[in-house]
Amino acid sequence: MPEYRYHQQPGCGGCLFFIMIALLLFGGAPLLFEVMGFLLVSGLFFIFFIFAAIWGTSSYVRYKVSNYEQQQSEDRNHFVQLLTHILVKIAQIDGVVTRAEVQTIKNFFRVNLHYNQEQMFWINELIKEASQSTETIDSLLTQFKNSFAYEPRLILVELVYQVLYTKENILPEELDMAARIAAFLDISQYDQQTIWSKYHYRRRQQPGVSQEQKYYEVLGLSPGAEFSEIKKAYRKLSMKYHPDKVGHLGEEFRRVAEEKMKDINVAYDYFSKKMS
């Protein structure tokens, strides 16, 4: 039995035709032209209003971004600019940046780094610039390497992994890119391992992995390491992640270093109590 097809209701075109007929009948051509002229002027005014609103909003955003940038240090502006461009380049591995990937980057700044609306205006502009940029990842990393010392480079790699592990599904190519970024920036294998371990084990409970093993991973050590090795690793990591070494980049990056130090301290306190 064929499916019944409902008839569509008449569109607005029919309504407009009947209105024009009514205007002609009750007011003649002058009334028709008067009404149609009013509608035309109203339509043009509405279009002008929309364009003015778009232009005003765009100007307001550009003003807020420019005003905010001028209040920040050059190092901080450069760090965030390169960070944003690098994150977008990672998202472009498959040739296109999806809306979900852009939202992941925005959420990272908004949620993880606690950026407010004014700061997010800035990030949105940087993401637009990065999406249109033809600059290569190697060029961006070279700029970063030449501009910042080892400790800020560590924070960059920390943030790259942090963004990747906020995604539901991480592509193997993305993790490979993160490792390549760390190698390009001359981050030691030891330091890269401690960063990867932090987010890898935090993401989900790994079967067969004890809390003690996670603490070893945080310190970049193999299970069963002597306390002297643990103490040496703790001192080395404490120097690298001291918040004062990245404080000039902004309070949000100082907090990233402080969070890393908390993980290091928790691991060291565990072994101190166990082995003392």
> Can you tell me the distance from the alpha carbon of 118 to that of 125, in angstroms, rounded to the nearest whole number?
11
Average pLDDT over residues 250-260: 89
Q: Is the pTM of this model over 0.75?
A: no
At residue 27, does pLDDT exceed 70? no
Average pLDDT over residues 14-31: 63
Q: Provide CB contacts within 8 A for 196, sequence distance 6+.
A: 161, 178
Least confident window among 51-60, 102-111, 137-146, 211-220:
51-60
> Can you tell me the distance from the alpha carbon of 252 to that of 113, in angstroms, rounded to the nearest whole number?
6
CA 197 to chain centre: 21
At residue 209, does pLDDT exceed 70? no
Rg for the chain, CA atoms, rounded: 29
Average pLDDT over residues 15-44: 65
Q: Is 15 left (phi over 0), alpha (psi -120 to 50) or beta?
A: alpha
Structure tokens at 149: 């010392």
50 or 93, greater pLDDT: 93
Distances (CA, A) of 117 to 61, 100, 159, 195, 260: 11, 20, 21, 29, 26
Q: Provide CB contacts within 8 A for 126, sequence distance 6+.
A: 80, 81, 84, 85
Cα angle: 92, vertex 97, 102; to 5 degrees: 115
Q: How confident is the model at residue 250 (pLDDT cuts 50, 70, 90)?
A: confident
Q: What is the pLDDT of residues 64-94, one digit of tens each?
A: 767 777 878 888 899 999 999 999 999 888 7
Least confident window among 73-87, 113-127, 162-176:
162-176
214 or 22, greater pLDDT: 214
At residue 147, does pLDDT exceed 70? yes
